[in-house]
Amino acid sequence: MPATSFSCSFLSLQPRFNSYVNPIFRSLTFQLSSSPFPFNAPFSSIRIRCSLSRPAETNSTTGGRSGALTPGPSVGGDVQKIDVNPPKGTRDFPPEDMRLRNWLFNHFKEVSWLYGFEEVDYPVLESEALFTRKAGEEIKDQLYCFEDRGNRRVALRPELTPSLARLVIQKGKSVSLPIKWFTVGQCWRYERMTRGRRREHYQWNMDIIGVPGVMAEAELISSVVTLFKRIGITESDVGFKVSSRKVLQEVLNCYSVPEYLFGKVCVIIDKIEKIPVDEIKKELKAVGLSQEAVQKLLQVLSVKSLAELEERLGSSGEALADLKQLFSLAEKTGFSKWLQFDASVVRGLAYYTGIVFEGFDREGKLRAICGGGRYDHLFSTFGADDIAACGFGFGDAVIVELLKEKGLLPELNLHIDNIVCALDEDLQGCAAMVANILREKGHSVELVLESKPLKWVFKRAARVNAERLVLVGNSEWQRGVVGVKILSTAEQYEVKLEDLK
C-alpha cells in the first residue's frame, strides 16, 4: 500500500505540546506508511515523518517574539554579505584605537586615585524610569529604550549620575558620608551626530555626595585641570565657563515664575549657543514667561563678570556668594586662569541646582569637553531624602578630537619585551617552555607559533617593537642555553635557562 499522508494542526493534535513548541511553527505534515496501513496497530509501530512550515515573518511590534529557531544561511546557496561597519554612531576599537582608549582611561583613573576617589560601576541596562524623572529634558527623546521579555521598560543608560543616585539610595546608611566615587562607563544616546558627538561614548564621572559647600565643586574642577595638564592641554587651549543655577532662579523669582517651570527654562537656556535668540524668546514665552521676564532674563544671561552680576542682582544673593567663593578657592589652588564667569551656562539636565560648569576649547571648534555641577535635589526625585551632591561627566570622544587638533595624540605603538623562536620545528615545545619562564618573571612574550624563516622573525620583531629575540637552537638546547639578541644594539650572547631574566 502506498504511503498515506495527511496534514493537521500541530497544536490541535497535541495540545499538551503547546508550551514546548515555538508558535512560529504553524502546521505539520505527517506521512505514515505501512503495508497495509494498520489503523489498529500500536502507535509505536507507526513510522512518522513530519515537515515543518513557518508563517510569514511577523512584525515585532505586533507582539510576536522572535526565538532562537531562526533560519540559518542556505547550504550551497548564495550567502548574503553582512555590512562590516558598526551601527551608525558606534565604534570599533581595533588594537591601535584600543591602546589610545586605555591610555586615556588610565589617566582618568590615576587622576581619580590622586584625589582619593573610589571606583564603582553600574549596569549599562537600567530601568527606563530612572531617566524620565522630569518633563522637558532633551535626554528623554534620546533614550535607547524598549520592553524586555518580562514586560519591563528598560533603557541603555544615557548618563551615569542617576545610576549613582540609585546605588547610593540602595546602600543607605551602610556607606558613610562624604562619598567620593568615580566611574568610566559606556553611555548611549540617540542624537544627531557632530564632531565629537556619537550615539555611544564612554564617560568619566567623578561625584562627591554629602558635602554642601563650594569646596566640593572646586575639588572637582581641580581634578579635571590636573587631567588636562597630564595630557598636555593648557589654559590657553581650554577654559571652564562657570555660573550658577541660582542666578537664573533669582531672576525668575523677581517675576513670580512658578518653580515647576524652572527645569523647562533651564533646558531652553541651554540651547542659547545652538539656536537663534529669537527662537529662545519664542520657547520661553511658550512655557509661560512674560515679555518682561524674558527680556530681563536674557539681559542677565549676557553678563560675563561677577562685578556686573553684582550690579544687576545685588550683593546679598546666594548665587553671587557661591561664585565668589569658588573663584577665591581657584586662586588659592592655582587654577583661576582656567575659569571665566558666563551667566548663560545652565547645563541641560533638569536636576542641577547650584554652581554649574563646562569645559570648552578656546578656539570654539568643538562642543563642550566636559560639564557638571551641583545637584542637591536629585535624590528626592527617586523618593529618597535629598543629599548635597555634585559631580561632572567627561566624554572620551571630544577630548580625542581636541588632542588631534592640537597635535597631542601620543604615539602608542605595540611593545613586546621578548620574541621567542624555535630554530627547528622539533624544538617548538622547548621554545614554549622558554616563553613561559619569561612570562612567569613578568615579561611580555610573543612566541612564534609556526616554523618560520629568520627573516620573517626579524620583521615580526620589528613590527611588535620587541626588545630581545630569544632563539632556541638544537646545539644550544643540548648545552642548556638559549641565544639572546638585543635588537636595539645587535648585541648577541648565550644564557643558561636558569639565568634567563
Give the angle subtended at the CA of 429 by the CAs of 426 and 433, to the nearest 5°.
145
DSSP label of 409: -
DSSP label of 55: P
Helix (H, G, I), strand (E, B) or coil at 273: coil
60 contacts 87 by C-beta, under 8 angstroms: no
Structural domain boundaries in the chain: 95-406, 416-499
Q: Would you call 38 exposed, middle or buried from its count of C-beta atoms within 10 A (0-12, 13-18, 19+)?
A: exposed
158 contacts 139 by C-beta, under 8 angstroms: yes
DSSP label of 315: S
- Residue 357 CA to residue 180 CA, distance in Å, equals 19
What is the identity of the amino acid at 373?
A: G
Q: What is the DSSP string of 63-131?
A: T----S----PPTTSPPPPPP-SPSTT-----HHHHHHHHHHHHHHHHHHHHTTPEE----SEEEGGGG
137-145: list long-range contacts, CB under 8 Å, 24+ apart: 137/263, 137/267, 137/348, 137/349, 137/350, 138/267, 138/348, 139/189, 139/348, 139/349, 142/189, 142/190, 142/191, 143/189, 143/190, 144/188, 144/189, 144/190
Give the angle subtended at the CA of 330 by the CAs of 325 and 334, to the nearest 5°.
155
Give the angle subtended at the CA of 463 by the CAs of 462 and 466, to the nearest 5°.
55
Selection from 111, 114, 334 nearest residue 227 by Cα = 111
DSSP label of 277: H
| Sign of the alpha-carbon dihedral angle for 56, 57, 61, 67 | positive
Query: What local confidence, expressed as pLDDT, does residue 269 receive?
Result: 83
- Residue 218 CA to residue 325 CA, distance in Å, equals 9
Q: What are the cell numbers at 419?
A: 620574541
Task: Pinpoint the alpha helices (H) of 174-276.
Answer: 215-230, 245-254, 262-269
Q: What is the DSSP string of 466-487?
A: -SEEEEE-HHHHHTTEEEEEET
Helix (H, G, I), strand (E, B) or coil at 188: strand
Q: Is 144 annotated as a binding residue?
A: no
Adjacent-strand bridge partners of 357: 242, 372
Task: Pinpoint the alpha helices (H) of 316-427.
Answer: 318-333, 396-405
Q: Is 367 annotated as a binding residue?
A: no
Q: Is 249 annotated as a binding residue?
A: no
- Residue 369 CA to residue 196 CA, distance in Å, equals 9
Find the Cα–Cα–Cα–Cα dihedral 436, 101, 91, 232, rounded to 10°.
-150
Query: What local confidence, expressed as pLDDT, does residue 267 receive?
Result: 80
Say which residues have a Cβ less than 8 Å from residue 87's Cβ, sequence separation at least 6. 199
**Helix/strand/coil percentages in the chain, nearest 5:** 40, 20, 40
- Residue 443 CA to residue 416 CA, distance in Å, equals 8
Query: What local confidence, expressed as pLDDT, does residue 11 receive?
Result: 39
Domain 416-499 fold = Rossmann fold (3.40.50)
| Sign of the alpha-carbon dihedral angle for 405, 406, 409, 411 | positive
Q: Is 203 annotated as a binding residue?
A: yes
Query: What local confidence, expressed as pLDDT, does residue 22 receive?
Result: 44
**From first to last of its 501 residues, what are the pLDDT tens digits of the chain?**
444 444 444 333 444 444 444 443 333 433 433 444 444 444 444 444 444 444 444 444 444 444 444 455 555 567 889 999 998 989 999 999 999 999 999 999 999 999 999 999 999 999 999 988 654 466 778 899 999 999 999 999 999 999 999 999 999 999 999 999 999 999 999 888 777 678 899 999 999 999 999 999 999 999 999 999 999 999 999 999 999 999 888 888 887 778 778 778 888 888 887 788 889 999 999 988 888 888 888 888 888 899 998 988 888 788 999 999 999 999 999 999 999 999 888 886 778 899 999 999 999 889 899 999 999 999 998 999 999 999 999 999 999 999 999 999 999 999 999 999 999 999 999 999 999 999 999 999 999 999 999 999 999 999 999 999 999 999 999 999 999 999 999 999 999 999 999
Cis-peptide, bond into residue 38, ω within 30° of zero: no
Say which residues have a Cβ less than 8 Å from residue 189's Cβ, sequence separation at least 6. 139, 142, 143, 144, 158, 199
Q: Is 198 annotated as a binding residue?
A: no
- Residue 305 CA to residue 317 CA, distance in Å, equals 16
CA distances 335 to 112, 125, 332, 490, Å, are 18, 37, 8, 49
Query: What local confidence, expressed as pLDDT, does residue 61 receive?
Result: 42
Q: Is 20 annotated as a binding residue?
A: no
Query: Buried (b) or exposed (e) across 291-322, using 16+ Cβ within 10 A?
Result: eebbebbbebbebeebeebbeebeeebebbeb
Selection from 323, 331, 257, 322 nearest residue 296 by Cα = 257
347 contacts 373 by C-beta, under 8 angstroms: yes
Pick the CATH number of 95-406 from 3.30.930.10, 3.40.50.920, 3.30.1360.70, 3.40.1160.10: 3.30.930.10
Task: Tell if the pTM clears 0.85, that is, is over it.
Answer: no
Q: Is 260 annotated as a binding residue?
A: no
